[in-house]
Amino acid sequence: MKKIQYNLLNFRVLVLIFFFLSGCKEKKYSKDVFFDKTIVLEENLESIQVSPDLLLEKDMLITSDHLITLGANQGAYFKVFDLQSLDLVGEFGNEGEGPEDFTMPFSSGMTVSGEQLVLGDLLSMRSADLNSDFWSEENQFSRTAYPSELIPLNFPFLLNPNTICGQVEMSSKHITCFDIKLSKLTEFIDYPDFISFNDEKPYERERMFQNQSRVSPDGSYIILTYSYIPLVRIFDVKSGGLKEVFIKNNRDFYSNNSGSNNQSALDNQLFYHNVKVSNKFIYAFYQEEIIEDDPQSEGGLTSRSLSDKELHVIDFAGNAIKKIKLPDWAKVFSPSLDDKFLYFLHPEIEDQIFKFPLEE
């Protein structure tokens, strides 16, 4: 059995290398997509009392058995709850320079990869068996330091046991991967081609295509959502296919657009702010905002909302399944891997976790 698994892993790595080198096999567009089905979160939201202080938590991740939160470093970065009872079972992750310590862990670095919990920080990536008591001192995370070429690595994730991926500044592609065994770097997934930029100004391109990336738990899909463009991109790792889903919005960003480098993106209008991925669906956090000058505010800028906060639920084929209207406070969230529930934290309520049942 182990030999078969090893051969399958080698085959998958060869397939990945082939598509990384050859580029995307195909690209499919779906423009001005809208959602036929709308659900209101507060109409069926359950509040569950918990014991620890969750006021400073920045993000959360749901595994098959646990709910894990990431907060400010107050003795430990991570809190681990039993998913069924939501009882606290442990805490871990101290700030420091030792092999077991963390250096500014990223919320975007919290992912599930197969049977592994993956945690990325500023300098390295750690993984642990989800079936172990990974929060206890007796169980150590395996740790891989990023090569200097990957620092800083934004939105880090583990594509497979031997491949660390993320976004690297000044890269010619969206995603850069590092083969741990071969010590080889590979870049893939082109930037969108409907806006032209001067290649001599890569920072301009990176700024306008600022995005959030996630990988599906089984490593089959890489998801990209964009801050300044109402766009969701779905990259099929196995086939190399790329789907681009343009969301219908108040600005009519893509209406009647031919897609031939004639669309302009404004750097004062925001669309997507975060994205999470389950086994079946993409959950993209969406709110249209405009950034305006405000001499009275800190930094001289303020934001004005043009739409409600929403979660856009999209499948890996690029179909718009439904949107979930969120209350203004709902920002920190995670879907369960089986898509039965959504979990939320309230920024002003420190002793409750909110649970929302998802329809079949």
Mean pLDDT taken over the chain: 85
Residue 332 burial by Cβ neighbours in a 10 Å radius (0-12, 13-18, 19+): buried
Quick one: pLDDT at residue 8? 40
Quick one: pLDDT at residue 360? 57
Residues in the chain: 360
Mean pLDDT on 237-253? 85
Quick one: pLDDT at residue 260? 46
Residue 24 predicted with pLDDT over 90 = no
Lowest mean pLDDT across 253-257, 308-312, 317-321: 253-257
* pLDDT tens sequence across 307-317: 999 999 999 99
pTM of the predicted model as reported, rounded to 2 decimal places = 0.88
* pLDDT tens sequence across 61-103: 999 999 999 998 777 999 999 999 999 999 999 888 777 889 9
More confident residue, 94 or 333: 333
Residue 178 predicted with pLDDT over 60 = yes
* pLDDT tens sequence across 115-139: 999 999 999 999 999 999 999 865 6
Cα 53 to Cα 49, 88, 95, 346, 350, distances in angstroms:
11, 11, 19, 12, 5
What DSSP designation does 161 have?
T
Mean pLDDT on 46-62? 91
Mean pLDDT on 207-213? 88
Residue 263 burial by Cβ neighbours in a 10 Å radius (0-12, 13-18, 19+): middle
Long-range contacts of 145-152 (CB under 8 A, 24+ apart): 146/178, 147/178, 147/183, 147/185, 149/178, 149/185, 150/176, 150/178, 150/185, 151/122, 151/123, 152/122
Quick one: pLDDT at residue 205? 78
Quick one: pLDDT at residue 198? 64
Residue 291 burial by Cβ neighbours in a 10 Å radius (0-12, 13-18, 19+): middle
Q: What are phi and psi of 45, to 5 degrees?
A: -115, 125
CA 135, CA 138: separation in Å to the nearest integer? 9
Residue 60 predicted with pLDDT over 80 = yes
Please give the angle made by the CA atoms of 332, 342 and 315, to the nearest 5 degrees.
105
Residue 7 predicted with pLDDT over 70 = no
Between strands 269-277 and 231-236, the pairing is unpaired
Mean pLDDT on 272-288? 96
* pLDDT tens sequence across 148-157: 999 999 999 9
Quick one: pLDDT at residue 91? 92
Mean pLDDT on 4-18? 45
Between strands 26-33 and 241-247, the pairing is parallel
Lowest mean pLDDT across 171-180, 194-203, 218-227, 326-335: 194-203
